[in-house]
């Protein structure tokens, strides 16, 4: 350690505690910012509309059928969208904004490794996203308990865990994009477009035209979040039937979890590397 | 205990074919203030960014307290506070929470954090705003918080890149006083304000086109490069008509006299302080309503203009 440490300064502050510090204050920044409340409003709107639709239309196949079907419709249909929006809003500009908004000039020129800043911000984004997911899960659960008192399928819990794994991977993916670009708007847009549109198009094209399983796609993997709420779990492969039929692939649970884990590891490494190399030149 | 130091050895930064900093060799050691001067695009900020880990050198090394910033930024900056350009603070944080974050990151002991933050905010006159969101602050207010951030951890080295940018005249004066009060440490400060550098620094390093031109004490640089020329603005209590300007322009040692407005005449003279003293005395004796005599060029300014001109 440097021999020039000023009096009273603990220069042995650990990287782990610096990660905690960055996470704590980044989370505070999220928690006090408009986007967090915007996301809460989105979840409240989706939850409110679902609650209203179930109560007003009382669809027989959902509110009178097996509980699993209810959770499939209420949770499985929207959780991926909510997870992607959370990842985009909390992670899409987490790193690019350090460059574009010049907040990096406040944080980076300190005795802290860039990796500690990156990981701390990722943890803060994960915490904010988990709050959003938990809120939505709570809305679905309350509805579920109203229509199916005392009957919460174990698959709902599994689906929540898979959604958590997905948000972990999606945030790592978003952070990597955020580290790639210096424009916050571009990094958010690119991430959202890729996760909501491009990957799905590629999945479909690969399945229909090339007839190959889209094992490389995170949006293929996230299918397990909704599919685990189906009984029985869909077949891994369904061949095309008839002249205009198309084959379908469905990720198995181990396959989906593996793909998401690989996405997390690879994009985390790429994003960290990009952030370490990127220069504050503007 | 070793003296605080900043050292650049063969420090070079290139962007494609453009070289922003070229083979910079500079060693600053001791507890003093060193001004870092140069025109826009000279490489001042690029150099400071390499000392603070915001960018990496293409070649060479930037060392803070003997530690290579690129090899171990955490160790190199352990006792170094920085203010590069005009940083933005997370808009949803308050000055107190932003400074608390830096205190924690920099390892300020827990029991001292509040006291140091109070002191730092007091020095920059921001106590009144300490619990308001930074997002609503003006550029000058944010810069005050940034200045406060450099005072938190009692660092041995402080790197300041144009710290008075965005501040009003009072703010600039206050920052100057703060820098002056930072005794017993090494302050490396870039500025376009030569008066500011003369006021607060003992030494000066000048850079242009990415190359170091000179590093020495201000007195030595002035003596070596400034020459004996000078300029001053004379103020009158009533309009100075042509006859007054003509009489002034005939004074001994004067090169030029130009009326800049009805009550002000700017003069250029040669001969250094002796001429300046004589001029002042003669003007007072002319009985033409002279009420002020203000030196408008300093020795450092003359040296700066001479050195920078010679590199073009």
Q: What is the pLDDT of residues B221-273, one digit of tens each?
A: 888 887 777 788 899 999 988 899 889 888 888 888 888 888 988 888 877 77
Contacting residues of B for A6, CB less than 8 Å apart? 79, 153-156, 185
How does the average pLDDT of chain B come out, rounded? 90
CA atoms of A202 and A12, how far apart (whole Å): 49
Q: What is the pLDDT confidence band of residue B26, given thresholds at 50, 70 and 90?
A: very high
User: How big is chain A by its Cα radius of gyration, in Å?
Assistant: 21
How many CB atoms are located within 10 Å of the residue B17 CB?
5
Give the mean model confidence (pLDDT) for residues B154-170.
90
Q: What is the pLDDT of residues A104-132, one digit of tens each?
A: 999 999 999 999 999 999 999 999 999 99
Contacting residues of A for B77, CB less than 8 Å apart? 109-111
* Chain A / chain B CB contacts < 8 angstroms: 152
The number of C-alpha atoms within 13 Å of A252 and in the hemisphere containing its C-beta is: 5
Most confident of A264-273, B219-228, B276-285: A264-273
Percent over 70 (pLDDT), chain A: 95
ipTM: 0.87
CA atoms of B218 and B204, how far apart (whole Å): 6
B271: helix, coil or strand?
coil
Beta-bridge partner residues of B30: none
pLDDT at residue A13, as a whole number: 87
Give the mean model confidence (pLDDT) for residues B174-197.
89
Q: Under a CB-based contact definition with an 8 Å cutoff, are residues B203 and B215 in contact?
A: yes
Nearest partner of A88 among A160, A164, A167, A161, judged by Cα: A167
Per the CB < 8 Å rule, is B65 touching A2?
yes
Nearest partner of B225 among B233, B215, B234, B235, judged by Cα: B215
Pick among B57, B78, B147 to test the A interface (most A CBs inside 10 A)? B78
Nearest partner of B58 among B24, B28, B100, B92, judged by Cα: B24
pLDDT at residue A10, as a whole number: 47
Beta-bridge partner residues of B36: B190, B205
Q: What is the pLDDT of residues A39-79, one digit of tens each?
A: 999 999 999 999 999 999 998 888 888 999 999 999 999 99
Per the CB < 8 Å rule, is B105 touching A21?
yes
pLDDT(B197) > 70: yes
pLDDT at residue A3, as a whole number: 40
Q: What is the pLDDT of residues A188-247, one digit of tens each?
A: 999 899 999 999 999 999 888 888 999 999 999 999 999 999 999 999 999 888 777 888
Chain A residues near any Cβ of chain B (below 8 Å)? 1-13, 15, 17-18, 21-22, 24-26, 28-33, 101-114, 279-281
User: How big is chain B by its Cα radius of gyration, in Å?
Assistant: 23
Q: Under a CB-based contact definition with an 8 Å cutoff, are residues A37 and A134 in contact?
A: no
B133 Cβ under 8 Å from any chain A Cβ: yes
Q: Under a CB-based contact definition with an 8 Å cutoff, are residues B36 and B44 in contact?
A: yes
CA atoms of B69 and B60, how far apart (whole Å): 11
Q: What is the pLDDT of residues B284-295, one digit of tens each?
A: 888 889 999 887
**Inter-axis angle of helices A184-193 and A79-91, to 10 degrees?**
160
pLDDT(B196) > 90: no
Per the CB < 8 Å rule, is B105 touching A112?
yes
Instruction: Name which of A101, A103, A280 is nearest B49 (Cβ-Cβ).
Output: A280
Residues 6+ apart with CB under 8 A from B178: B123, B124, B147, B151
User: Could you tell me the sign of the dihedral formed by the alpha carbons of B161, B165, B167, B172, in that order?
Assistant: positive
> A209: exposed, middle or buried (C-beta count within 10 Å: 0-12, 13-18, 19+)?
exposed
Q: What is the pLDDT confidence band of residue B310, given thresholds at 50, 70 and 90?
A: low
């Amino acid at each position: 350690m440097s021999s020039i440490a000023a009096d009273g300064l603990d220069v042995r502050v650990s990287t782990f505690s610096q990660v905690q510090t960055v996470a704590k204050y980044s989370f505070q920044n999220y928690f006090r910012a408009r986007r967090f409340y915007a996301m809460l409003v989105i979840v409240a709107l989706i939850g409110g509309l679902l609650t209203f639709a179930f109560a007003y239309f009382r669809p027989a196949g959902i509110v009178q059928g097996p509980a699993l079907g209810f959770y499939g419709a209420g949770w499985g249909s929207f959780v991926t969208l909510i997870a992607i929006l959370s990842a985009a809003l909390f992670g899409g500009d987490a790193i690019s904004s350090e460059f574009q908004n010049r907040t990096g000039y406040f944080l980076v020129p300190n005795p802290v490794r860039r990796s500690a800043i990156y990981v701390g911000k990722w943890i803060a984004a994960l915490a904010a996203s988990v709050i959003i997911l938990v809120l939505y899960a709570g809305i679905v659960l309350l509805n579920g308990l109203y229509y199916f008192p005392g009957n919460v399928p174990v698959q709902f819990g599994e689906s929540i865990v898979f959604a958590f794994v997905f948000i972990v991977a999606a945030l790592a993916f978003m952070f990597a994009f955020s580290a790639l670009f210096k424009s916050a708007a571009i990094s958010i847009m690119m991430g959202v477009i890729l996760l909501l549109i491009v990957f799905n198009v590629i999945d479909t094209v690969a399945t229909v035209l090339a007839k190959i399983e889209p094992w490389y796609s995170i949006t293929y993997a996230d299918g397990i979040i909704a599919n685990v709420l189906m009984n029985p779990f869909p077949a891994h492969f369904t061949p095309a039937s008839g002249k205009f039929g198309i084959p379908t692939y469905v990720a198995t649970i181990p396959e989906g979890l593996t793909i998401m884990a690989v996405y997390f590891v690879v994009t985390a490494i790429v994003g960290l590397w990009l952030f370490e190399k990127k220069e504050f030149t503007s | 205990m070793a003296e605080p130091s900043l050292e650049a050895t063969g420090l070079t930064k290139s962007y494609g074919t453009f070289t922003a900093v070229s083979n910079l060799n500079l060693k600053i050691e001791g507890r003093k203030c060193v001004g870092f001067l140069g025109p826009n695009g000279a490489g001042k900020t690029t150099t400071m960014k390499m000392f603070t880990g915001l960018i990496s050198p293409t070649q060479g090394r930037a060392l803070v307290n003997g530690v290579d910033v690129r090899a171990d930024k955490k160790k190199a900056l352990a006792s170094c506070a920085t203010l590069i350009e005009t940083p933005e603070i997370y808009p949803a944080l308050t000055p107190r929470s932003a400074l608390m974050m830096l205190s924690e990151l920099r390892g300020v002991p827990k029991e001292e954090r509040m006291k140091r933050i109070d002191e730092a905010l007091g020095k920059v006159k921001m106590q009144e705003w300490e619990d308001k969101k930074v997002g609503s602050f003006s550029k000058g207010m944010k810069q005050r918080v940034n200045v406060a951030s450099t005072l938190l951890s009692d660092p041995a080295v402080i790197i300041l890149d144009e710290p008075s940018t965005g501040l009003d005249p009072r703010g600039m004066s206050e920052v100057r006083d703060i820098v002056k009060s930072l005794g017993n440490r090494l302050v490396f400060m870039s500025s376009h304000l030569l008066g500011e550098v003369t006021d607060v620094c003992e030494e000066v390093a000048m850079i242009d086109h990415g190359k170091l031109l000179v590093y020495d004490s201000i007195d030595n640089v002035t003596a070596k490069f400034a020459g004996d020329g000078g300029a001053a603005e004379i103020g009158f209590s009533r309009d100075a008509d042509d006859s007054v300007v003509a009489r002034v322009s005939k004074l001994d040692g004067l090169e030029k006299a130009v009326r800049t407005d009805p009550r002000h005449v700017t003069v250029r003279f040669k001969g250094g302080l002796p001429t300046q003293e004589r001029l002042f005395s003669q003007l007072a004796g002319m009985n033409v309503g002279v009420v002020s005599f203000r030196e408008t060029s300093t020795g450092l300014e003359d040296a700066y203009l001479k050195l920078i001109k010679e590199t073009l």
